[in-house]
Amino acid sequence: MNSEAWDKNLIVDGRGLMPGLSIDPVIFGFHEGQLKILLLRFRGMDAFALPGGFVHLTEDVDEAAARVLFERTGLREIYLDQFYTFGKRDRRDAGTQQTLLLGNGVELPGEHWLLQRFVSIGYYALIDFTKANPTPDPLSDSCGWHDLANLPPLIFDHAHIVQKALEALQKNLDDKLIGFALLPETFTMAELQQLYETILGKPLQRTNFQRKLLSLGILERLEKKMSGGAHKAPYLYRFISPTTP
Query: Which residues lie near a copy of itself (CB under 8 A)?
Result: 18-21, 55, 57-63, 82, 84-85, 87-89, 117, 119, 121, 171, 175
Rounded CA-CA distance 197/70 in Å is 28
Residue closer to a copy of itself (CB basis): 56 or 146: 56
Where helices occur in the chain by DSSP H, the ranges are: 8-13, 61-73, 94-102, 158-175, 189-200, 206-215
| Min CB(122)–a copy of itself separation in Å | 9
Radius of gyration of the CA atoms of the chain, in A: 20
Residue closer to a copy of itself (CB basis): 144 or 245: 245
Rounded CA-CA distance 149/120 in Å is 24
Rounded CA-CA distance 138/140 in Å is 6
Residue closer to a copy of itself (CB basis): 93 or 141: 93
| Min CB(160)–a copy of itself separation in Å | 13
3-state secondary structure of 53: strand
Rounded CA-CA distance 198/36 in Å is 10
| Min CB(245)–a copy of itself separation in Å | 12
Residue closer to a copy of itself (CB basis): 18 or 200: 18
Q: Which residues have CB under 8 Å from 119's CB, separation 6+? A: 20, 21, 22, 85, 86, 87
| Min CB(91)–a copy of itself separation in Å | 9
8 A C-beta contact, residue 151 and residue 144: no
Rounded CA-CA distance 236/219 in Å is 10
Residue closer to a copy of itself (CB basis): 85 or 205: 85
Residue closer to a copy of itself (CB basis): 99 or 172: 172
Nearest to 209 by CA among 185, 224, 190, 236: 190
8 A C-beta contact, residue 221 and residue 235: yes
Residue closer to a copy of itself (CB basis): 82 or 186: 82
